[in-house]
Amino acid sequence: ETYSDKAYRKFKENPLVPVGALATCGALIMATVKMRKGDSRSFNHWLRARVAAQALTVAFVCAGAWSLSKERDPESSKTRQLDEIAVHREERIARERSEFEGRLKEATQAYESE
């Protein structure tokens, strides 16, 4: 997958993130222009717009990640839970087996000593 293919795929998955990033950059550029001109009132306005655009971009990223996780594999959490249960079960069986073998060894030693 080339860089442009990946960028296109990511844009299709979550189209609002690049738009939000462009809005953030545009507001920052306008704030810089206003600062150079000495227009402090407009400069502060554009800085506030940048913060708002940045917050929206972060919200878009979170919403896109949440929606993609729901779309891609809704049963992944179930399979993950089943895998964890199986691992815990195997650990418990191994622990019980080692405890049983220890008790059996002690009983054998006690029997032999009598």
Domain boundaries, the chain: 73-113
Q: Which of 17, 49, 53, 19 is nearest to 31 (CA)?
A: 49
**Residue whose tokens read 């600062």:** 35
pLDDT per residue of the chain (114 residues) written in tens, 0 to 9: 788 888 888 888 888 889 999 999 999 999 999 999 999 999 999 999 999 999 999 999 998 888 877 766 656 667 777 888 888 899 999 999 999 999 999 999 999 988
Tokens of 111: 């029997």
In contact, 50 and 24? CB cutoff 8 Å:
yes
Among left, alpha and beta (phi > 0; psi -120 to 50; other), residue 38 is left
**Residue whose tokens read 């032999």:** 112
